């Protein structure tokens, strides 16, 4: 008989794309749950979700929903987190948040377990999950930072529509069907921003993810800049990003150029990445083997390939990084943190 401690767990945003993945992981990994509470907006309340063969009714999330809850996994939008997470903390819960609400708060650890697991112990009730595109990049760059130091990162992302939620997936599929049938395409969801202007995503690439900021970068791009520095623990790293939405359902891809502080050996870099936790090296160009979104979908790892020395800068390194944005980019990273907490 196991003496493992069991936890009262709440999942906020249980009916969303990330919430569904969190529940799947909690079930498949047999997370030590005593009581499970599924929470959502009023719109989704009342839905029935089966977990480990038992039906659970989704409840509307309110400040009183967290009485007795010990671990709360939030994935229901930043406004929901800001409104409810403080109440959850008051009730004694540790909140693991998938939104942007507290990521840059100086009192909130921003954690990728493969990079800065030790930061979890510094939490004051809330632990932030980084942005999906940031998570996969820093997981791949951490072993290089430790070995050589990193001076500069230039990243271009090719991000799946699932990063914008289930409505964006529906829009891509609907537009693709309409385009193939020669019918009119009526964009309604993407890009997600402050303006009513929407663009076709089917057979297209939209160089905007989130709202534009005063400096000409989008919020998604600035998230990558700020979060990378915080997670890597080095404000001196220069980061610039261009984030693009492409017609892929699952899996973000990134072209990353990194300038290292010290000379490197390419074969040693490959070995460092092959040995890194949570990273899978797929780098055999002679046989056309490199990371693909279709291969990464449904898998928890970060996949790295196309490793090559830069042609113009001796300490420059080019690489291609791919990961399932709903798994390592969100749900799996959050569950990893929850598992660490559960083990004390």
Q: Could you confirm whether 252 is annotated as catalytic?
A: yes
To the question of whether residue 177 is assigned a binding role by annotation, the answer is: no
**129: helix, strand or coil:** coil
Show the domains of the chain with their CATH numbers: 7-130+330-342 (3.40.50.720), 134-325 (3.30.360.10)
Q: How far apart are CA 245 and CA 140, in angstroms?
A: 21
Q: How far apart are CA 130 and CA 108, in angstroms?
A: 11
To the question of whether residue 279 is assigned a binding role by annotation, the answer is: no
Q: Could you confirm whether 243 is annotated as catalytic?
A: no
Q: What is the mean pLDDT of the chain?
A: 97
Condensed to tens digits (0 to 9), the pLDDT of residues 36-86 reads 999 999 899 999 999 999 999 999 999 999 999 999 999 998 999 999 999
To the question of whether residue 44 is assigned a binding role by annotation, the answer is: yes
Q: Which of 24, 132, 199, 243 is catalytic?
A: 132
Q: Residue 2 has what pLDDT?
A: 58
Q: Could you give the percent of the chain with pLDDT greater than 70?
A: 99
To the question of whether residue 103 is assigned a binding role by annotation, the answer is: yes
**155: helix, strand or coil:** strand
To the question of whether residue 253 is assigned a binding role by annotation, the answer is: no
193 or 1, higher pLDDT: 193
Q: Give how far the C-alpha of residue 61 lies from the chain's centroid of Cα atoms, to the nearest Å.
A: 23
Q: Which of 87, 91, 123, 252 is catalytic?
A: 252
Condensed to tens digits (0 to 9), the pLDDT of residues 223-245 reads 999 999 999 999 999 999 999 99
Q: Which of 77, 120, 83, 119 is nearest to 97 (CA)?
A: 77
To the question of whether residue 305 is assigned a binding role by annotation, the answer is: no
Q: Residue 298 has what pLDDT?
A: 96
Q: Residue 1 has what pLDDT?
A: 41
Q: Token pair of 331, please?
A: 């749900």
Name the packing angle between helices 132-148 and 266-275 (round to 10°).
120
């Amino acid at each position: 008989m196991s003496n493992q401690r069991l936890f009262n767990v709440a999942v906020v945003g249980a009916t969303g794309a990330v919430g569904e993945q969190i529940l799947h992981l909690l079930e498949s990994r047999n997370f030590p749950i005593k009581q499970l509470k599924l929470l959502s907006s009023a719109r989704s309340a009342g839905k029935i979700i089966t977990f480990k063969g038992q039906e659970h009714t989704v409840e509307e999330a309110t400040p009183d929903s967290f009485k007795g809850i010990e671990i709360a996994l939030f994935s229901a939008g930043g406004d929901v987190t800001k409104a409810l997470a403080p109440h959850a903390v008051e009730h004694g819960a540790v909140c693991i948040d998938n939104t942007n609400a507290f990521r840059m708060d100086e009192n909130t650890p921003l954690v990728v377990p493969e990079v800065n697991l030790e930061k979890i112990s510094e939490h004051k009730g809330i632990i932030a999950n980084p942005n999906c595109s940031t998570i996969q990049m820093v997981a791949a760059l951490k072993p290089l930072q430790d070995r050589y130091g990193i001076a500069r990162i230039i990243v271009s992302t090719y991000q799946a529509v699932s990063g914008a939620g289930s409505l964006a997936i529906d829009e891509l599929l609907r537009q693709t069907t309409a385009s193939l049938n020669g019918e009119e395409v009526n964009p309604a969801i993407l890009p997600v921003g402050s303006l009513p202007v929407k663009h076709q995503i089917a057979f297209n690439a939209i160089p905007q993810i989130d709202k534009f900021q005063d400096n000409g970068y989008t919020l998604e791009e600035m998230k990558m800049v700020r979060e990378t520095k915080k997670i890597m623990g080095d404000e001196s790293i220069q980061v610039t990003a261009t984030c693009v939405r492409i017609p892929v359902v699952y899996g973000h891809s990134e072209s990353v150029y990194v300038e290292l502080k010290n000379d490197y050996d390419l074969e040693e870099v490959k070995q460092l990445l092959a040995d890194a936790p949570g990273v899978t090296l797929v780098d055999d160009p002679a046989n056309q083997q490199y990371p693909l979104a279709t291969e990464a979908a449904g898998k928890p790892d970060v996949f790295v390939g196309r490793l090559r020395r830069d042609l113009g800068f001796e300490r420059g390194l080019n690489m291609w990084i791919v990961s399932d944005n709903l798994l390592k980019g969100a749900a799996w990273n959050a569950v990893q943190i929850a598992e660490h907490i559960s083990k004390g």
